[in-house]
Chains A and B, each alone.
Chain A
Amino acid sequence: MLYSEKVMDHFTNPRNVGTLDNADGIGEVGNAKCGDIMKIFLKIDKENGVDTITDVKFSTFGCGSAIASSSMATEMIKGKPLSQALELTNKAVVEALDGLPAHKLHCSVLAEEAVKAAIKDYYDKNGIEYDHAKLESKHDCEHCGE
């Protein structure tokens, strides 16, 4: 089979699908021309004085691995402090999915970037200082130049 059981599970029963009406941070990455767009919505509240992701939703246009990567990434950051969510890597998403085919690895990169874009949106909206280098886009698409 093309995909692991984990990928198929997260594709056919995706977690956290949907949108949040009053999201504190929204991140959208990808390009319909290339066939993948990921949008992540974050609800952020102070828990014990720490900014924490209390709810997260996603909507994704893309292939099976794009949907599974979005689902897994949202599971991995749900309930976590922002500082921890910022450490999410595409590699961790791939490992949690028991691997992705080589030509699908970019889907996991999109998931990492969507999370970071949503956090950046939250920081920008609230005038919070952050390390810009850490939230710079790594996504390098030769195809669409984004």
Chain B
Amino acid sequence: METIYVDNAATTKMSKTAINAMLPYLDECYGNPSSLHTVGQLAQEALVRAREEVAKALGAEPREIFFTSGGSEADNQALLTGAERGALKGKKHIISQKTEHHAILHSLRRLEKQGYEIELLDVDEFGNVTAEQVKNAIRDDTALVTIMAANNEIGTLMPIKEIADVCHEKGVLFHTDAVQAAGHIPLNVHEIGCDMLSLSAHKFHGPKGVGALYVSKKLFPSTLIEGGAQERGRRAGTENIAGISSMAAALTESVANISENTRKLTAMRDRLIEGLSEIPHSVLNGDRNNRLPGNVNMCFEGIEGESILLLLDAKGICASSGSACTSGSLDPSHVLLAIGRPHEVAHGSLRLTLSEENTPEQMEFIIKSVKEVVEYLRGMSPVWQDLQEGKKKYVIQ
């Protein structure tokens, strides 16, 4: 049975380029970059090269790149930086929005307990916030605005350039979580005008456990992990040279292929949306066009997401869902609730996230398989039966 992996927002398969870039640092080039001897200095050179490559891919300067253990750490460090800097000036108001990743939302919750005032903006039915909303929310004591570049569940692309502009007009710092966007859509920190930006290697065919935080040279990041003088004293711990070198190679490769991959992924994405929309009482989550090139997220009324995933897995299709059963909590996805889906509909969601390794033939197989699975599960669902018999009203027409 062919495995069709369409869960690339969860993680991606490492590219050959990324694997090859990593190997020397697991083998002969094992030095600690902090060591003065030749073996250590070879590792130090690799670190310098990787920093230059990541900086170049983002339009930044090497000294503005801080390596981390991944996107979550980068997000934590960015928020701490914004919060601590604000507190020095007596500013303790932070603006974000409801569909952020938990790395942001939970960090904000902690800051709230520490006395910061957190304001989460509502999104519209497509998961969008506007620069106008941000502008209206900014106060004299606003320390930081943090809005993601692209949503991890429904793929909505946020107007981060416009948001950065209104932040700067008001002299407020702006951070963007670009974990889902980096390597997938063009990102240039100067064109966007962000002060901080987070990314994670394993979302663009790099390794897990490594990420980066861009911090404008006008700022100095707060320290999350205390210890040695690595990362100019802002992030202690012997550098993960293999992971960092691999991330740099993966990012360079992804950025070089953005136009080609966007064309390919958008065509497959649109075919999936078209095919799956033929299922009665189904709805696309997120914006029809203003979304990541490889993101499809749909709700099917009357059924539950985990069942869909298990049956698709039996057909070789690896996908994900925002149902409570798949999140390990009682509530379905906070993103689907934020765009206005009721609980019972949010439970029946399916996310398919593509990579350039997928093929148009696979899209046809997915469409056929999802149709079969939805029909089968609806056939045994008392909710669907009530809807069909008119005892309940359809939420999705």
Contact = CB atoms under 8 A, between A and B. Distances in A.
B310 A11 contact: yes
Contacts of A34: 324, 330, 343
Contacts of B331: 143
A18 B381 CA distance: 9
B223 to A, nearest CB: 36
Contacts of A37: 381-383
Contacts of B379: 17
A12 B343 contact: no
Given A32-B343, A35-B323, A143-B330, A60 B314 contact: no
A14 to B, nearest CB: 7
Interface in A34-88: 34-39, 58-64, 66-67
A132 interface: no
Contacts, number: 72
B174 to A, nearest CB: 37
Given A14-B380, A64-B307, A32 B344 contact: yes
Chain A CB within 10 A, most for which of B310, B379, B380: B380
A52 B141 CA distance: 72
A63 B380 contact: no
Contact of B310 (A38, A61, A64): A64
B381 A61 contact: yes
A67 B307 contact: yes
A32 B325 CA distance: 13
Given A17-B380, A28-B382, A61 B343 contact: no
B91 interface: no
A125 interface: no
A19 interface: yes
A12 B311 contact: yes
A60 B343 contact: no
B328 interface: yes
Nearest to B305: A63
B380 to A, nearest CB: 5
Contact of B306 (A19, A63, A142): A63
Contacts of A11: 307, 310
B64 interface: no
Contacts of A32: 343-344, 347, 383
A62 to B, nearest CB: 5
Contacts of B344: 32-33, 35
A59 B380 contact: yes
A60 B328 CA distance: 20
A63 B326 CA distance: 9
A33 B380 contact: no
A62 B314 contact: no
B328 A67 contact: no
B384 interface: yes
A66 B304 CA distance: 10
Contacts of B303: 61
Contacts of B342: 33
A35 B382 contact: no
B385 interface: yes
Interface in B295-341: 302-307, 310-311, 314, 323-325, 328, 330-332
A35 B332 contact: yes
Nearest to A37: B382
B307 A62 contact: yes
Contacts of A66: 304
A115 B338 CA distance: 36
Chain A CB within 10 A, most for which of B303, B305, B343: B343
A58 B385 CA distance: 12
A37 B310 CA distance: 18
Contacts of B302: 61
Contacts of B306: 63-64
Interface string B359-392: 0000000000000000000011111110000000
A105 B68 CA distance: 38
B307 A63 contact: yes
A33 B311 CA distance: 22
A18 B376 CA distance: 12
Contacts of B384: 61
Nearest to A70: B380
A39 B325 contact: no
Contacts of B328: 103
A35 B382 CA distance: 12
A35 B381 contact: no
Contacts of B324: 34-35
Contact of B385 (A12, A19, A38, A103): A19
11 contacts: A11-B307, A19-B385, A28-B382, A32-B347, A33-B342, A35-B304, A36-B304, A59-B381, A61-B384, A63-B304, A143-B331
Interface of B: 302-307, 310-311, 314, 323-325, 328, 330-332, 342-344, 347, 379-385
Given A35-B332, A62-B304, A143-B331, 5 more contacts: A11-B307, A12-B314, A61-B302, A61-B303, A143-B330
